[in-house]
Structure 1
Amino acid sequence: MSHFSDFSYLQRCSIWVYMGVFLAFKIWTSDRFKCLHPKKIFSGELRSIITILYILMLFMQASWDIVLAWIKYYEKFTIIPGTATIIETPFNSWTEQHKNASQSMDYVECINLSMQASVLILLQCFWNYISNSVAKRSFMTSLEFKFYIFWAISTIVTFPTLQYSYRNSEILRESVPLLAYSAIGLIISSLGIRSHKRFNRMLETLHMLENGSSVIARLEYFQEMNLLISILLCFYALTLGIMCVDGLTSTLIARSKFATDFLIANCNTCALLMWMVGIFIFHPRRTTEEIKLDNRSKSSENISNRDSLVATGDIELSSVQYQEPSMDEHKSRNSQTSQRVSKFVNSQNAVN
């Protein structure tokens, strides 16, 4: 992990800043931060839990990249003895303080990888939630649903355990957790392709039954998002796996800075797109029906609040009575009007 290019860390630092703003914007536009309400979180609502996980992952990923970028730029470069070749300062030449900080942040990154893998696994459960809530149909069996929950929970402890087990080997503690993540990513990607086929069968059934177009459009949207994130995850896992296998074997790719930077740039791009697609999945744009329903609920709530205020006497409804002006007021107004008319006539005569 610490052998990546220093520019890759700096690039991801800027990515996570923009991604945090984008995540906050989508949460606000989708449900006005209602998913972060403690009542929904403690009730176990899937979207609320995954949103919390996204916020934690974003914070942990940004922390890891910021610390490693600071270390990389502080250590700067070194010259290979006996040559004129300038390289980044290797890990063995770092200060002891930076080594300890890097190893500590690697545990943070492993926890982050565990949470990312768990979210991608729970995504399969989310399709079942969407199918039940939108199309009123089951997407998977209860046994399969429970298996995904168990797999997601067990994954949380997998990566920190691997990091601790290979803590004495510099190469293994960096490569093995990432290799395990790439393997899980390929498995989840294949599961996403299977979910795509399930979406196809469900949509064919709904077309035959001539269900509402809004339901079909909603399911087609999630089907496209599922296919897109599965393809991105496949490319991301393959690229990450290639770098890990190369680091464990011949280090042929690691000797070429261009090849290494190219693979890392591909990983960063796929990670950025995966984050965006994931946010679009769990916080999609509200439909017209949802906006109308929200406006109706707000108006009914305002009416009920007004009625309660009237009932408690906080608001007094009184009619405004019209009072006829008195005779003296009529006389004063008439005199003022006659004076204005006479002044206007005199001024016209003077001009003539």
Structure 2
Amino acid sequence: MSHLSPAAFLVWAILSSLLGVFLVWHLWSFDRFKCLRWSQGSQGSFKRVMTYSYLLSVPLIWTYSVGFAIIKYSEGFMVLPGFGVIPVPHQLWKQAHQNAILPLYLAVAFAWALEMVTHLEELCFWLFVVNAGSAQRDWFRSLYFKTWLVGSVVAILYVPLVTIFTRSDPLKCEAYTFLAGSLGSLSLTLWFIPVLHLFGPFLRSLRKEGVDMTTIVRLTKFHELNTIRVVFRLLFSLPIIILAVDGVRPHQHVNDSLIGTDLLAMVAGFGVVLSSGLTLVIFFPRSIEGEISRNTSRNRGFFSSKNHLTFVSQEQELYGTYDVRDTEDPDKEPPPSSIYEESIAVAPSTAWRQEAQPPSADSQYPPPPPLPKVTTPQSAAPERPLTIRLEPNRRVPEPDIELRPQQAVPKLTADNLAKHNSRAKKVAHFVQNFKSPIDFRRSR
């Protein structure tokens, strides 16, 4: 705190602000903030708890970093004989700044506790996914869910309690708060490494069992994101635990060095912000295909009678009979010359329609009226390409399916039949349906 330079807290403030901007943009692109509604129908209580626990940790980290950045730059530096220029110690701060120390420590303590709740849920969830079989399909009745429930209560209580019990000495309070939080984060990160090791064989087993490719791609994406996030979580927890362990010792070595404390604090800031951003992407995975489909359906009403799409048939493109005047306003009365051209313009590929056989008796559509035959001199060549207007090409009703000849149905090979029969024995049913580690609903 007092031994850190203002630049270190400024880096934390900038990074946490960027995380907040990314959070708002991602949730808006995800579903226009619908996931934040408390009364969302398809969202269960578990997903609401996980959503709000993660979203609350981001503004708490921002409050801690921005608050101390403002205080540190307001207090500035001082010259201490024997040590040189150092940041002003907290004993010499203004009374208002001293009163803000404990609330800011409580903010980072609760943020740390909520972050451990999030990471513990993911650890238990991925263990459940890797070890679950076809008979085990309910996450809420599993041992992993109960472990997360107990661990979350412990995390919510012990980190803020450590801050409250050591509040008499700000330096001691900071050291023990960061030690408690970093130990919890480091233990969860180390426990996550075996899960990453087991996830590769798990994906290969899913391919052998014939799971659809969409599920394989989704799980592979989650596996890669979790691997990258573990690296950033180590970059966050290891520097903090070094500073915390050095802070609780009688003689400090790392904390007495300004470059050491600033370097470790800045690396930890990058680690916590980037890992939190990856957690957001994992919890709320965007579907670009779905977003494009929603935007396309939303913009369908854009085309009016004056702004409509024009479809060119293959005959028009092949024989050059497409005319821009066909895309004009249909309510506008066409010139007399165009009426004459419509009656005589017949593309060679559509000439068979005039000599078509009469429809059968069971046809439900009346035959189209024949085009008038107009004879023109052979030598007379049109001055410009002839035009035609598109007509609906209605499909003739097919005969009854019972009257069709029976076709031979291909039989499954022995390997495919074995995969089909063994698929339900090894693969859990929920694996092919889930989209996010928090998107689970209680089975009935």
Q: Distance in 2 between matches of 1:36 and 1:211?
A: 32
Partner of 2:237: 237
Q: In structure 2, what residue type is equivalent to 1:199?
A: F
Matched residue, 1:318: none
User: 5+ unaligned residues in a row in structure 2: which ranges?
Assistant: 302-330, 332-444
SS of residue matched to 1:253: coil
Q: How far is 1:13 from its partner?
A: 1.7
Superposition pairs for residues 76-115 of structure 1, below 5 Å? 76-81=76-81, 85-115=84-114
* Cα distance in 1 between the residues matched to 2:282 and 2:102: 34
| CA distance in structure 2 between the partners assigned to 1:73 and 1:192 by the alignment | 38
Hey, what does 2:62 align to over in structure 1?
62
**Cα deviation digits, residues 37-82 of structure 1 (max 9, x gap):** 222499545444333233322222212222211211111111114x
Q: Distance in 2 between matches of 1:3 and 1:126?
A: 40
Aligned to 1:117: 116
Relative to 1, partners in 2 of residues 1:137 and 1:194: Cα closer, same or farther, differing over 3 Å? farther
Sequence identity (%) = 25
Report the Cα offset of residue 200 of structure 1: 2.2
Q: Distance in 2 between matches of 1:291 and 1:77?
A: 51
Unaligned runs of 5+ in 1: 303-321, 323-352
1:286 aligns with 2:293: no
Aligned length: 297
Amino acid at match of 1:58: V
Distance 1:126 1:84, change over 3 A: closer
**Deviations 1:139-186 (Å, cap 9, x if unpaired)?**
988112211121012211111110111122333211112111111112
1:53–1:119: 8 Å Cα contact kept in structure 2? yes
Contact 2:130/2:199 (8 A) holds in 1: no
For 1:39, what is the secondary structure of its paired residue? coil
Closer/same/farther in 2, CA of residues 28 and 47 from structure 1, 3 Å limit:
farther
Instruction: Determine the C-alpha separation between the residues in 2 that align with 1:120 and 1:236.
Output: 13
Distance in 2, matches of 1:124 and 1:62, equals 25
Contact 1:6–1:72 (CA under 8 A) maintained in structure 2: yes
Give me the whole-angstrom Cα distance separating, in 2, the residues matched to 1:71 and 1:238: 26
CA distance in 2, matches of 1:107, 1:78: 28
- Partner Cα separation in structure 2 for residue 267 and residue 160 of structure 1: 20
SS of equivalent residue, structure 2 residue 39: helix
Change (3 A) 1:175 1:92: same
Deviation at 1:239, TM superposition (A): 1.0
Task: Give the structure-1-normalised TM-score.
Answer: 0.75
The amino acid across from 2:110 in the alignment is I
Distance 1:224 1:207 in 2: 17
In structure 2, what residue type is equivalent to 1:146?
K
Structure 1 residue 2: Cα displacement: 4.4
Matched AA of 1:204: R
Give the C-alpha shift of residue 104 in structure 1: 2.3
1:287 positional shift:
5.4
Q: Which residue of 1 aligns with 2:263?
A: 262
Say which is worse superposed, 222-231 or 117-126, in terms of deviation. Answer: 117-126
For the residues of structure 1 that align with 2:41 and 2:278, how far apart are their CA atoms? 22
1:88 Cα deviation from its structure 2 partner: 0.8
Residue aligned with 2:4, SS = coil
Q: 1:123-272 residue pairs with structure 2 within 5 A? A: 123-127=122-126, 142-249=142-249, 250-272=251-273
The amino acid that maps onto 2:86 is I
CA deviations on 1:227-274 (whole Å, 9 max, x unpaired) are 222222123211111111111223111122111111112111111211
CA distance in 1, matches of 2:55, 2:37: 14
Alpha carbons 1:121, 1:152 under 8 Å: kept: yes
Give the stretch that moved more between structures: 28-37 or 38-47. Answer: 38-47
Counterpart residue identity of residue 283, structure 1: F
Return closer, same or farther for 1:33/1:131 CA change in 2, 3 Å cut-off. farther
Residues 136 and 13 (structure 1 numbering): CA distance in 2 closer, same or farther, change over 3 Å?
farther
1:70-128 deviations in Å (ceiling 9; x for gaps): 211111111114x5822110112222322111122212221121111111112224547
Distance verdict in 2 for CA 1:151–1:157, change over 3 Å: same
Q: Cα offset for 1:291?
A: 5.1
Mapped partners of 1:40, 1:201: distance in 2: 37
TM score, norm. by length of structure 2:
0.60
Q: Which amino acid aligns with 1:264?
A: A
Amino acid at match of 2:229: I
Separation of aligned partners in 1, 2:167 and 2:41 = 35
Whether contact under 8 Å (1:35, 1:41) holds in the other structure is no
Q: What letter is aligned with 2:71?
A: I
The one-letter amino acid paired with 2:271 is C
Larger RCO, structure (CA 8 Å, separation 6 or more): 2
- Structure 2 CA distance, aligned partners of 1:43 and 1:30? 15
Change (3 A) 1:235 1:63: closer
Q: Which amino acid aligns with 2:55?
A: I
Quote how far apart the aligned CAs of 1:216 are: 0.4
On the 8 A contact 2:79/2:85 being kept in 1, the answer is yes
CA distance in 2, matches of 1:242, 1:59: 25
By percentage of residues, which structure has more helix? 1
Asked if 1 retains the 8 angstrom alpha-carbon contact of 2:77 and 2:86, the reply is yes
